[in-house]
Amino acid sequence: MIPKDLPKAELHCHLEGTIPPSLARKIAKRNNIKLNSDLFENEDTYAWDDFASFLEAYDAASLCLRNSTDYRDITYDYLAKCAAEGAIYIEVFTSPDHAAECGISYNEHVRGVAQAFDNAERDYGIIGRAIVTCVRHLGPERALSVADSFLENPHPYFVGFGMGGDEGHMTFEDFKPAFDKVAKAGYPCTTHAGEHFGPETILDAIEKLPVSRIGHGVRISEDENAVKEIIKKGIVLEICPGSNVSLGVYKKYSEHPFPYLRNCGCKVTLNSDDPPFFHTNIGKEYEDAHTNFGLTIDNLLDITRTAINAAFIKDYEKKRLQAKVDSWKKSG
């Protein structure tokens, strides 16, 4: 077992995918919303059996949300749990398209999330920041509109831009206008790539889009030259082993390329993606990396340092967080 308070940082989790079934039911009840009865397999488990049905369940769970207080509550709930797992920094993807589907405006969703970040920092010392995310399978026009909302309503806690959703839809080139607009305004970007598709799609992503990080990116491991290319470019991989095993990208941990990529010299981080859907959390990801990939305490601290270094925050904020990691090492 690793010490629970080993400082951890997470760069890749979807806020709408952090809602545990009990909280989804509680929020739905107070909003007089009836969630789809086949959304749950049992009390604590969402029902899904492949990537498509996972995305459907994820969309359906988010329909419990109706106002900025709901956004505050799910964000606070998540950060409180992460703090209990020893996390000191969390970046969450928020999806204005999901908010809009629930009748919640861009600014209402920002208000709720930002309030939770303040409350969680006050109560637990954990720092939360948000990455505004478009949904690939909703297409490039919606992506551009999400980018416009982001740029027209700047907020200091909303620090970057990203894209999730079904990798099988459209090409990276199609989303270039949205990403370029955001990058031109000075914001850092990330995109999901190489989760369900091969290394060529990751190379395409880093060629077409102004990204410093790739969500998942694990399938880069299938091409040695592609691995060299992302190392050369300093691309950071937001790796989510528990999600990958749950979704069947790899059958078991022993097949996961995390150790290979790390040994090659890739910048790797550990993340939970959509914790209640995959029965994981950031603490479990670190623990599993220790058990299954043989990472030592020092290796795990380096993973935290890599994540902080790649975070979409200012240098002085990174320095403060790195100092926390260093002081834990000294006292630990």
The catalytic residue positions are 195
Contact partner at residue 108 from Zn ion, ligand ADE, none, CB < 5 to 8 Å by partner kind: none
Alpha carbon 243 to chain centroid, angstroms: 11
* Binding track over 199-238 against ligand ADE, x by CB under 6 A: ----------------------------------------
* Binding track over 182-201 against ligand ADE, x by CB under 6 A: ----------x--x------
For Zn ion, the binding residues in 263-282 under the rule CB under 5 A are 273
Contacts of 2 (CB under 8 A, 6+ apart): 286, 287, 290, 297, 300
Which CB sits closer to Zn ion, 111 or 129?
129
Which CB sits closer to ligand ADE, 97 or 273?
273
Contact partner at residue 58 from Zn ion, ligand ADE, none, CB < 5 to 8 Å by partner kind: ligand ADE
Which CB sits closer to Zn ion, 68 or 191?
191
Which CB sits closer to ligand ADE, 17 or 160?
17
6 in Cβ contact with 301 (< 8 Å): yes
Which CB sits closer to ligand ADE, 54 or 187?
54
Contacts of 176 (CB under 8 A, 6+ apart): 208, 209
For ligand ADE, the binding residues in 7-26 under the rule CB under 6 A are 14, 17
Alpha carbon 11 to chain centroid, angstroms: 5
Residue 268, number of CB atoms within 10 A of its CB: 23
Does residue 98 touch ligand ADE according to CB under 6 A?
A: no
**Shortest distance, position 8 Cβ to ligand ADE, whole Å:** 20
For ligand ADE, the binding residues in 57-76 under the rule CB under 6 A are 58
For ligand ADE, the binding residue among 273, 285, 287, 288 (CB under 6 A) is: 273
> How long a stretch of residues is the chain?
332
**Shortest distance, position 320 Cβ to Zn ion, whole Å:** 27
How far is it, in rounded angstroms, from Cα 235 to Cα 194?
13
* Binding track over 101-140 against ligand ADE, x by CB under 6 A: ----------------------------------------
Contact partner at residue 46 from ligand ADE, Zn ion, none, CB < 5 to 8 Å by partner kind: none
Q: At what angle do helices 68-84 and 106-124 cross, to 10 degrees?
A: 30
Binding-site ranges for Zn ion (CB under 5 A)? 273
Binding-site ranges for ligand ADE (CB under 6 A)? 14, 17, 58, 164-165, 192, 195, 243, 273-274
